[in-house]
Amino acid sequence: MSRFLRPEATQTLARWQGVLVSLGIIALGALILLTSYGLTFWLGCVIAGLGTISLVAAAQRMRFAGGTGGPGVVQIDEGAIGYFGPLGGGVIARSEMTALALDRNGKPAHWVLSQPEQDDVMIPLTAAGADALFDVFAALPGIRTERMLAEMRRKDAGRSILWQRPGTASPHLRLT
């Protein structure tokens, strides 16, 4: 199929893939809902509802994509988040994370992952594989994904703490 489409069109379709699939599921549910009655009517309602939930999740995931072409590679393996960059990197366990921040001072902006007794792991938003971090961050207890997405779109410099494990010291007080 890549021979029929320009690379830019393929990238755009890949970016919108989740939204398009969700819209298809909603359309299928609406078709069943409008053309039937009884138990099948309720099945259409359930399919359309699941499609709507999927659409919201796909839209958030699409907004999370920070771009491509940045330095380094992100690798997620069984709860371990690894970043391997040209000038540094590190590995941090999701279960041991104490804070997540977004540092917009650098070019490009960086995720800052904190863990006790370890150096912070700084991951550029544009690193290869950084879009997979959405699922990891969304699983953090009590994180507000809409706030995280809003902070990603801000243009001013600064560091924002997006999530902190309850009962831990504020990460900006640490000496690093």
Render each residue's pLDDT in the chain as its tens digit; 176 residues.
557 888 888 877 878 888 999 999 999 999 999 999 999 999 999 999 999 999 998 888 887 776 667 788 989 988 899 999 887 888 998 888 999 999 988 888 889 999 888 888 899 888 888 888 888 888 889 888 888 888 888 888 888 888 988 877 655 544 44
> Taking the model in full, what pTM does it have?
0.69
Q: Are residues 158 and 135 in the same domain?
A: yes
Instruction: Give the model's pLDDT for residue 131.
Output: 83
Whether 174 maps to a domain, the answer reads no
Whether 52 maps to a domain, the answer reads yes
Whether 171 maps to a domain, the answer reads no
* Boundary-marking domain end, from 64, 87, 103: 64
∠ CA 166-88-95 to the nearest 5 degrees?
25
Whether 159 maps to a domain, the answer reads yes
Question: Domain span at residue 142?
Answer: 73-165
Q: Are residues 82 and 160 in the same domain?
A: yes
- The amino acid that residue 172 corresponds to is H
Q: Are residues 106 and 151 in the same domain?
A: yes
Q: Are residues 53 and 105 in the same domain?
A: no
Q: Are residues 78 and 160 in the same domain?
A: yes
Q: Are residues 31 and 81 in the same domain?
A: no
* Boundary-marking domain end, from 39, 64, 89: 64
Determine contact, residues 64/111, Cβ cutoff 8 Å: no
- Domain total in the chain: 2
Determine contact, residues 29/46, Cβ cutoff 8 Å: yes
Whether 1 maps to a domain, the answer reads no
Whether 2 maps to a domain, the answer reads no
Q: Are residues 98 and 148 in the same domain?
A: yes
d(C-alpha 81, C-alpha 113), whole Å: 9
Whether 172 maps to a domain, the answer reads no
Q: Are residues 79 and 135 in the same domain?
A: yes
Q: Are residues 31 and 89 in the same domain?
A: no
Q: Cα torsion for 161, 167, 168, 169, to the nearest 10°? A: 80
